[in-house]
Amino acid sequence: MEIARRAWERHALERPIVQVSVKPCRVFRDSSAATFRRRLRDRRFVSVERRGKMIIGRLDDGGGMLAHLGMTGKVIHREAGVESPDGTRATLRFAEGDALCFVSRRLFGRLWAAPLGVLHARSGWEELGPDPLLGPFDTELLAAALADRDAPVKNVLMDQRRLAGIGNIQAAEALWRARIHPGRPARTLSRVEVGQLRRGIIATIEYTLAQADVNEIRYLGEGHAPNPFRVYGRAGERCRRCKTEIVREVQGGRATFFCPGCQLRRVRPATGRAAPRRSKQRPRRA
DNA sequence: AACGGAACCTGAAAGC
DNA sequence: TGCTTTCAGGTTCCGT
């Protein structure tokens, strides 16, 4: 979604939209495709903001356009004369003939143009948790997001009201980097593990952004690019850290990949000198 | 309230 | 070859 936001900003900012083509479908479930057209024609974007997986482009007339791309969505720039890719639901064309295409082949995406206040109030934007890429993202914040949840830590990471922007791949990758088993109840992570997880989240997102094609995002399996991820999509391969075979399991209805060798299901036993047993109430630091 | 599972869609790839 | 099954980078609804 951050790649989509950057494409949107780079190609559309401050440029009048001279033509809007839409394909009426479920993507326009919040207001009609016709309304979408009317609100965007002859307008221009003055900013493009992302929070989690939602993007809002602010228009010069106080309106806005919200995009959520669902599972396999994209925002793609097309030069003049090049037709929009398969699954394009809206095309915003500029005076030079080039265009910005919003693709959501599976119709899980969402496109909505409305007054900015309406978008903010009724899209769920305000309910999103902190985004690791925006503002401060410290161990305290992550600990709060994971606190008091019995659900598997991977599921909690993907709960957009707790943390915004982490999806199935980034969750699996962050947990591998942090050496934490995806099935661990969120509340059982130690302070040290929360710190590892915080670094894992930041590292995997930065890595993924660095890998991504700047102009058009390629999803796993598209084109011939090799899988850039550490565990995602690598069932049966050896873990690059400990050489154990990576496993695929379904957790919360989603495919989960992890290394049973170095992602521990239980709290890591203390090493070295005898570790004192933790009492139920952990003493808080002053 | 929190949790797990099914449903919503389309299309590509694997299986038979 | 052609039909069937599986699977997919997300969210929401529904029953427990």
pLDDT tens figures, A76-113: 999 999 999 999 999 999 999 999 999 999 999 999 99
pLDDT tens figures, A179-227: 999 999 999 999 999 999 999 999 999 999 998 876 778 888 787 789 9
Rounded distance between C-alpha atoms, residue A240 and residue A71, angstroms: 28
DSSP states of A233-276: T-TTSBPTTT-PBPEEEEETTEEEEE-TTTSBSSPPPPPSSPPP
Whether CB of A125 is under 7 Å from strand C: the answer is no
More confident residue, A11 or A223: A11
pLDDT tens figures, A224-282: 789 999 999 999 999 999 999 999 999 999 999 999 999 988 765 555 333 343 333 33
Positions on chain B within 7 A of a protein C-beta = 2-13
- Nearest nucleotide to A72 (CA to C1') is C9
> Straight-line distance from CA A236 to C1' B10, in Å?
28
Q: Give the Cβ contact number of residue A125 at 10 Å.
A: 16
Q: Give the Cβ contact number of residue A162 at 10 Å.
A: 20
Whether CB of A253 is under 7 Å from strand C: the answer is yes
pLDDT at residue A4 is higher than 90: yes
Which residue has the closest alpha carbon to B5 C1'? A253
> Straight-line distance from CA A180 to C1' B10, in Å?
34
Question: A228 is written with which tokens?
Answer: 């850039």
Which residue has the closest alpha carbon to B9 C1'? A106
Which residue has the closest alpha carbon to C12 C1'? A108
- Nearest nucleotide to A187 (CA to C1') is B2
First-to-final CA distance of chain A: 40
Rounded distance between C-alpha atoms, residue A192 and residue A183, angstroms: 18
> Straight-line distance from CA A67 to C1' C14, in Å?
27
Question: A201 is written with which tokens?
Answer: 């989240």
Tell me if A73 sits within 8 A of A108, measured CB to CB: yes
Residue A282 is predicted with a pLDDT of 35
Rounded distance between C-alpha atoms, residue A245 and residue A238, angstroms: 4
Residues near strand B (C-beta below 7 A) are A 26, 86-87, 105-108, 148-152, 155-156, 221, 252-253
Residue A267 is predicted with a pLDDT of 65
Give CA A259 to chain center in angstroms.
Answer: 23
- pTM, whole model, 2 decimals? 0.92
